[in-house]
Amino acid sequence: MKIENAMKRRQFLKGTLGVASLIALAGCDNLTQSSWFPGVLNKAETLTDLVQRAITPANALAKEYTDSDVSAVFPANGNTDPGTADYAAHVETDFAKWQVEVVGLVQTPMSWTLPALKELPSRTQITRHDCVEGWSAIGKWSGVPLGDLMHHVQPLPNAKYAVFHCADVDDEGMAYYESMAIQDCYHPQTILAYELNGKPLDISHGAPVRLRFERQLGYKQAKYVVKIELVETLGGIGQGRGGYWEDQGYEWYAGI
């Protein structure tokens, strides 16, 4: 009698726990699909952005590694070849005519060819690339500090964001773009890189020029950069969330 009761009780408990967890899981999926709940979840991004900026000194540097730390293989993610006729023509000419424009809310819009960029003072840094998927790779990047370009073009006071327009387009015709807060353009490690591990960038890693924004995740590191546009608001660009991946639900603030 006692054993029977105990068994019944155990079955009941197992059943209850099983049903409870199924309901909870289904509940989570329902909330995910609801119109309002993802908006609530997304409030955390604003909080994280505010708190992390408040506790991180503006010019605190990301850890720089040594040559021996460099990854043997630096994986290339996302688009690994823009694949357009225009881009192929640039590949033919070794990107000699590639131009990076800086436009929008600036005193003096300017543009630099790749050779002109390479003549500006450069910075080399061995840093860790953290992909949103969870892996990390270490590479040695050389390029022009973005802050130097900003000093040339003189952003207007109402410029809040720098938007990076890229030459790569995905299978559905969506152009890659990214954006960062204007103050992050002046971080010493924010560079337009043209070299990886001592060699000109290869196509899969964003040739000829890509962004390195060392304090945020990999999807912010726009490749194949052709235009930097300073704007007051991100609305009206792409789907308005500030980047190719952001438009697909990833956070604009990618510091974590």
Contact in structure between 203 and 81 (CB atoms under 8 Å) = yes
CB 178 within 8 A of CB 210: no
Return the number of the residue (75 or 200) whose C-beta is nearest another protein: 75
Residue 183 is a binding residue for another protein (CB under 8 A): no
> Taking CB under 8 A as the rule, does residue 57 contact another protein?
yes
Distance CA 215, CA 181 (A): 12
Buried b (16+ CB within 10 A) or exposed e, 131-152: eeeeeebbbbbbbbbbeebbee
Q: Does 175 bind another protein (CB under 8 A)?
A: no
- Please select the residue that binds another protein; options are 19, 23, 41, 50, rule is CB under 8 A: 41
Kindly state the smallest distance separating residue 111's Cβ from another protein, in Å: 30
Residue 207 DSSP symbol = S
Member of 61, 89, 96, 156 binding another protein (CB under 8 A): 61
Q: What are the residues whose beta carbons fall under 8 Å from the beta carbon of 10, sequence distance 6 or more?
A: none
- Of the candidate spans 67-75, 83-91, 92-100, 144-152, the one that interacts with another protein by CB under 8 A turns out to be 67-75
The yes or no reply on residue 46 touching another protein (CB under 8 A) is: no
Binding flag, residue 7, another protein (CB under 8 A): no
Which listed residue (4, 29, 171, 172) binds another protein by CB under 8 A?
29
**Residue 130 to residue 114: CA distance in whole angstroms:** 27
Q: Which residues contact 87 (CB under 8 A, 6 or more apart)?
A: 81, 167, 224
Q: C-beta of 36: minimal distance to another protein in Å?
A: 13
How many Cβ atoms from other residues are within 10 Å of residue 64's Cβ?
Answer: 15
For another protein, the closer CB: 9 or 97: 9
Which residue in the set 76, 120, 131, 169 belongs to the binding site for another protein (CB under 8 A)? 131
Query: What backbone torsions phi and psi does residue 69 show, to the nearest 5 degrees?
Result: -85, -10
38 is an interface residue for another protein by CB under 8 A: yes
Rule CB under 8 A: which residues touch another protein? 2, 5, 8-9, 12-13, 24-25, 28-29, 32, 38, 40-45, 47-48, 52, 55-57, 60-63, 65, 69, 71-73, 75, 128, 130-138, 214-217, 245, 248-251, 255-256
